[in-house]
Amino acid sequence: MAHRSRLAGFIIDCNTPDLDTAARFWSAALGCTVDPEPAGDATAEYVNFNDTPGALHIEVQKVDHPSRVHLDIESDDVDAEAARLEALGAKKIAFVKRWWVMESPTGQRFCVVRMRDEPGRHPAKEWP
């Protein structure tokens, strides 16, 4: 069955006890505003940005691993997209809540997440 996917955005993983300071730095560095709505849940801390280029989803995330940047690919069928990417050489690392953490053949981690329908986004690519 066909499914759609596209680049969702970038997640800035921050190994820090002070996520607010990290969010202020990155929002100023990128020229975006901090979304005042809480974005975290009981097990994770996130701060979303508004006014992002191309309506991409950009956020900072508090993590326990070393700081890095990773991208998210969004899809209307997360499992089908993960399978498509596996066929290209990626591997599944873990299923977390409702998304796949994956690794490219060259070692970069990325996530496959549920598609968001937001105005101003580029159309998604349809895959057979």
Q: Judge whether residue 42 has pLDDT over 60.
A: no
Confidence (pTM): 0.85
- Of residues 118 and 89, the one with the higher pLDDT is 89
Backbone angles phi, psi at 64, to 5 degrees: -95, -20
Q: Judge whether residue 27 has pLDDT over 60.
A: yes
pLDDT, residue 41, reads: 58
* Least reliable range by pLDDT among 5-19, 27-41, 59-73: 27-41
Q: Do residues 8 and 72 make contact, with C-beta atoms less than 8 angstroms apart?
A: yes
Q: Judge whether residue 92 has pLDDT over 80.
A: yes
> How far is C-alpha 47 from the geometric centre of its chain's CA atoms?
12
pLDDT, residue 122, reads: 84
